[in-house]
Structure formats: C-alpha cells, structure tokens
Amino acid sequence: MTTPPPSNTGTNFTDATKVEQLTSHTYSASFPDDWCIGSVPHGGFITAVFLQVSTLHFSTTLRTQNQPNPITLHLEFLRRTQTGPALFTVQDTKLGRQTSVLHITLSQGDRVEVVGYITHSNTSTETGVSSPHTHVLHPTPLPVSIPLLKTNTDPNYHLQAMPFPKFRKATTKSQIYSPQTQPSPIISDEWIRLSTGEPWTNTSLGYACDMFPLPTDFLSASTPTQTQNHPSNAKYWFPTLLLSIDFKKTLPTQGIEWLFIRIERKQTRNGRMDIAMTAWDEEGELVAISNHVALVVSSERNTSARSEVKGGKKIGGVDVCTLHRAIELDLEDGDSALLVYRNYVQPRSLCLSMPKYDCSAEKNLQVKEEPKCNLEQSETSHVITSPNR
C-alpha cells in the first residue's frame, strides 16, 4: 500500500489562514469555503487564524516585547462565522515582562462573532520550577511505527475515511489514522497530519486541537454509509461554544509532520458535549492540552439563514454598539456612566465619523464632551451624567 497523496484541491493552510495588517491593531483575513463545515468555517480553522493574528501582532506592533510564542488561548464563539472577509481587532490588555495578554475580536460586517484572549511569552527564555512528573495516558495507546504509518501499513492503525466529506469539507485537510478498536466509546486516539503536505506549527495546532472523527454513537444515527457523500445526509453539526488551549511545548520553526491526539468526552447530555484533548509529538512529549464545550444540533442549523444582529443601547436613536463599537455603556435612571468609543481606520483609510448626539430625549442626559474623530486609532472617553447630579 502506497503513501496517501497530499490533498491538491482547494487552498492549503498557509494561504487559507493568511492575515494582513491594516493598522497597528486591526487585521484582515478571508475565510475560504473549503475550510468549512457546511456553510460555517471550521472552529479549529478560526482558532488557527486567531493565532496567526496574535503572532503577527507580536512580530510587528509589539515586536519590542520579544514574546513570539502563544502559551494560552481562550475563545468564545458567539455567532456563526461565514466565508469571505473578516476583521480582527486587537486590544493590548496587559503588557508584561514575562507574559502579555491580547483581547481579540473577530467581526464580519456588523456582527461580532468570536472573542478571545491569547497570552504570549518567550518560551526560549522561560525559567522556573519544573516537575519530573508528567501526565500518563490510561489506557496506554497502541504502539506505532511512523515509517509504516506513512505508507498506511501499520498493523495497529489505519487511515480513516472521514464521513460526509462534502458537508464536512474542513476534515479533508487532514489525514487521521485511528486504531482498529478505540479504547472506549468516550475515548478515541488518532495520529494526524495535514493532507496539504504542510507541517504542524504553533498556529496550525489550533486546527489540530479541533479535528477528530465523529463520535460513533452519532455516526451510527446518521444516514447509511452509501449515501454519506451527499451534504444533506449529515444528521448532526457540532458547533463550538468555547475552546481553550494550553501550549506545553513550542514546536520548532520548521514544524513537525505528526501529532498523536487523545480525545475524551465525559458526558453528552441534552445536546451539550464536553471534549478534552491532549496532543503529543513523535517523541512522546506533551505539546498541548485543549478543552472544548460544543453543542450537538441538527445539521440544518448550520445552513439556515442568519438572523440579523439586534442593536444595542441607543443614544439619540443611533445604535452605539454598531456604529462605534462602544466598549461599555451602562446607563440607568439618575446614574453616571462611562462611555468609551473606539474608532478604527477602515481598510481604505476611512474613519467612521462620530455624529453629535442630542441626548436630551434619552433619559434627560447630557454629553459633557463631544466626540472627535481622527485618522489614527483612538479611544475617546465621554462621561454622560444626569443633570440632577
């Protein structure tokens, strides 16, 4: 049996996750269709693009921090993403000597879809206490021969055909080798490499930590195998609610070909599923730990029409959150509040002008200082108070 050929269809990982810096704190990307599950870009793919943004930010805007390596990531998936252009907005939440933290927001049009925090450090200069003890997998994974795995002739592992490839297009970007029998119904093992021929890197780990075969109990409830190639026959969709990664080992610059991943699910109940993953390299060193919460819903939810985003609080009839990305607005009768506006230079270097609000009709409020706009990224604070105070 020969080595399975790399995937030559669609985009590779490098091109699909490419980001472009627009300003010091904004970045653009474009999500291709062939990295989607149905009509929604794969959650691990989105995670990888977040890591591309943070890595580029630390190599440009924050290069003097000398903290090129992500060490933790936490993402909250608020709404479905979609193919096409996307904007990433970065806030330098904390800049420190040992670690620095970014808050990153992904938006498409007026929709804020994914938010997250990524912490960076310099793993080549880390010092501190280490323990000789490390996690041991139970039950023990079956032994593997990497040379035999490359030709799909290892007696313990086989190249697994991923179901519903026309619906789960992002799964075709990897080759997963599974044991003949999984350790248990809630534990699964896999050796995985990219089918595009590219190596695993610190950024593509985001995709690897969200790529695994469908649980057999959900697969058996789907349409029979002979019709699985039709997109509509995929019965379930597993949208991610949150995803976190603890990077235990920084991968070499040239990357590595193989990762071993163990996936454990404690319980699936009422359409909500937990996922815990550990990723290891060929030498048996722990590379990353990842935890997820996902929903189990009908695949029709994936392709249904997207509802419009409801507007937030308004001043003078203008939706503040939509027009100016208000960070905080909490107005109660008779209370004071701090309203922080953030302007961003648009891709064509156009700044959204901030209108002068007539707040007299809004809870009898007054604006002490009128917003100003310039062509640089800025924050302008305005204290809005009741005239009774």
State the pLDDT at residue 376.
40
State the pLDDT at residue 367.
40
Determine, yes or no, domain membership for 85. Answer: yes
State the pLDDT at residue 222.
45
Query: Cα 46 to the chain's mean position, in Å?
Result: 4
Q: Residue 157: is its pLDDT beyond 70?
A: yes
CA pair distance 345, 352, nearest whole angstrom: 8
Query: Average pLDDT, stretch 61-82?
Result: 97
Which residues in 123-239 belong to E strands, given as ranges? 157-159, 174-179, 187-194, 236-237
Determine, yes or no, domain membership for 369. Answer: no
Per-residue pLDDT tens digits for 294-325: 999 988 888 888 766 454 443 333 333 333 33
Helix, coil or strand: residue 49: helix
Q: Residue 334: is its pLDDT beyond 80?
A: no
Determine, yes or no, domain membership for 42. Answer: yes
State the pLDDT at residue 276.
97
Q: Residue 380: is its pLDDT beyond 90?
A: no
Q: Residue 6's closest CA among 198, 232, 264?
A: 198
> Cβ contacts of residue 266 below 8 Å, gap of 6+?
186, 274, 276
Per-residue pLDDT tens digits for 179-190: 989 999 999 999
Q: Residue 251: is its pLDDT beyond 60?
A: yes
Q: Residue 291: is its pLDDT beyond 50?
A: yes
Quote the domain boundaries for residue 101: 13-124+138-215+234-303
pLDDT, the chain, mean: 79
Q: What is the CATH number of the domain that holds 290?
A: 2.40.160.210
Cα separation values, 31 from 62, 84, 166, 173, Å: 25, 5, 17, 14
Per-residue pLDDT tens digits for 335-360: 333 333 333 333 332 333 333 334 33
Determine, yes or no, domain membership for 329. Answer: no
Query: Cα 243 to the chain's mean position, in Å?
Result: 7
Determine, yes or no, domain membership for 367. Answer: no
Determine, yes or no, domain membership for 331. Answer: no
Q: Residue 269: is its pLDDT beyond 80?
A: yes
Residue with tokens 């980001």: 19
Determine, yes or no, domain membership for 7. Answer: no
Confidence of residue 388 (pLDDT cuts 50, 70, 90): very low
Query: Average pLDDT, stretch 40-62?
Result: 98
CA pair distance 207, 317, nearest whole angstrom: 42
State the pLDDT at residue 300.
84
Determine, yes or no, domain membership for 308. Answer: no
pTM: 0.77
> What are 174's strand-pairing partners?
194
* Domains identified in the chain, total number: 1
Confidence of residue 233 (pLDDT cuts 50, 70, 90): low
Q: Residue 226: is its pLDDT beyond 70?
A: no
